[in-house]
Structure 1
């Protein structure tokens, strides 16, 4: 195993922790924070995968996913703020 695969494995483990926070978070804000954490780890994983397979278009995929994750987090937060707890 080289350094890149070790880092990718750690990022995937941290992403799983983010998903656990989404599923078992006691409040809706904890779940939103877990979603944001998972989104950021997916971005890092996409860039690392692009580095491992030597494909530069993965950076574009990571940027697009980052924008979608940010917009999703903002929309969910605004929905919760206006409508209350889900």
Structure 2
């Protein structure tokens, strides 16, 4: 049986390094708390008519979010989510 020259996680110069996981900021609509909007961490909210109604609620790692949220942010820069 042949043995790989290095573990499956990459070449020696990459071992021990971890690619940073994407993170996303969540904003909740204070008038409609069942609605959330995600943007990339540190990004501004999109140009919303009611921008003042949104408050920051935290940051989540990519692996904690549904794939459709990640896809929406990648496609449009933001993604709405029903928080119920």
Length-normalised TM-score, structure 2: 0.21
Q: Which has the higher contact order (CA 8 A, sep 6+)?
A: 2
Larger radius of gyration: 2
**In proportion to residue count, which structure has more helix?**
1
Length-normalised TM-score, structure 1: 0.20
**In proportion to residue count, which structure has more strand?**
2
